[in-house]
């Protein structure tokens, strides 16, 4: 079935090998930047890694497969097709810091929804991520929030899932990136002879003063 002309669609075939994962991640990053949805690049890359790794682990290395991306309105859809309709992905409970066995748990946390479409001689495992850009609400701190988002995106070097931050894993990753950044700034202050505690107190006071000026006394 042909996609509507106005819907961006990209598809690539690959062999399910571990070395293919990084190449597919790079392809996804380039494609989403072309489409202007950089805000979901990190979440999309992680989902692609897990979906492809699922094929490698449960269907077999060297399996012919395909990856497809499509953008429909505010939703980015990721599809991985493989020829084994008998082996279905399952959602397994795992710990936040587990390096292995995350499987579909990470996809479930990073995406808005996911599922499996069965065909006669193949299956398609898919997920959808809300790709609409998040714009800070007008008012106090909107410019500062936008600057902070830009700084964290650069600072995290692709490690920060920038899709659904409301998810538990997404929120933890966001907080970890913020903590790393603040810690580095504190080290910088100390290395240059500044009182880090004093700077933190002054920053907190400045932050509270801006909120008070915006909303007035409670």
pLDDT digits (tens, 9 = 90+) for 79-122: 999 998 887 776 554 444 444 445 688 898 889 999 999 998 89
Q: For position 106, what pLDDT does the model report?
A: 87
Q: For position 138, what pLDDT does the model report?
A: 55
Instruction: Answer with the residue of higher pLDDT: 101 or 182.
Output: 182
Whether the CB-CB separation of 86 and 101 falls below 8 Å is answered with: no
What's the whole-model pTM score? Answer: 0.57
Mean pLDDT of 7-28: 92
Measure the CA–CA gap between 77 and 7, rounded to whole angstroms. 11
Q: For position 26, what pLDDT does the model report?
A: 93
Q: For position 163, what pLDDT does the model report?
A: 44
The per-residue pLDDT of the chain, averaged, comes to 78
Q: How far separated are the first and last CA of the chain, in Å rounded?
A: 58
Residue 40 CB contacts under 8 Å (≥ 6 apart), including other chains = 32, 76, 129, 130, 131, 162, 163
Measure the CA–CA gap between 32 and 38, rounded to whole angstroms. 6
Range in 6-20, 87-101, 165-179 with the lowest mean pLDDT: 87-101
For the stretch 121-146, pLDDT in tens is: 899 999 999 886 544 455 555 677 77
Q: For position 148, what pLDDT does the model report?
A: 76
Mean pLDDT of 6-12: 81
């Amino acid at each position: 079935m042909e996609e509507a002309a106005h819907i961006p669609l990209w598809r690539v075939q690959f062999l399910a090998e571990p070395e293919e994962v990084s190449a597919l991640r790079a392809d996804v990053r380039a494609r989403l930047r072309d489409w202007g949805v950089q805000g979901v690049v990190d979440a999309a890359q992680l989902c692609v890694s897990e979906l492809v790794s699922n094929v490698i682990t449960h269907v077999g290395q060297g399996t012919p497969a395909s990856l497809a991306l499509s953008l429909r309105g505010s939703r980015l859809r990721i599809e991985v097709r493989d020829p084994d309709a008998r082996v279905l992905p399952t959602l397994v409970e795992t710990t936040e810091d587990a390096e292995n066995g995350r499987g579909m748990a990470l996809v479930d946390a990073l995406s808005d929804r996911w599922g499996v479409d069965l065909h006669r001689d193949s299956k398609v495992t898919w997920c959808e991520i809300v790709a609409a850009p998040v714009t800070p609400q007008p008012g106090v701190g909107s410019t500062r929030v936008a600057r902070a988002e830009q700084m964290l995106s650069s600072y995290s070097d692709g490690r920060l899932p920038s899709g659904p931050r409301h998810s538990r894993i997404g929120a933890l990753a966001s907080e970890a990136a913020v903590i790393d950044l603040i810690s580095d700034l504190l080290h910088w202050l100390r290395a240059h002879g500044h009182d880090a505690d004093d700077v933190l107190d002054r920053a907190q006071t400045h932050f509270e003063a801006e909120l008070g000026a915006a909303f007035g006394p409670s």
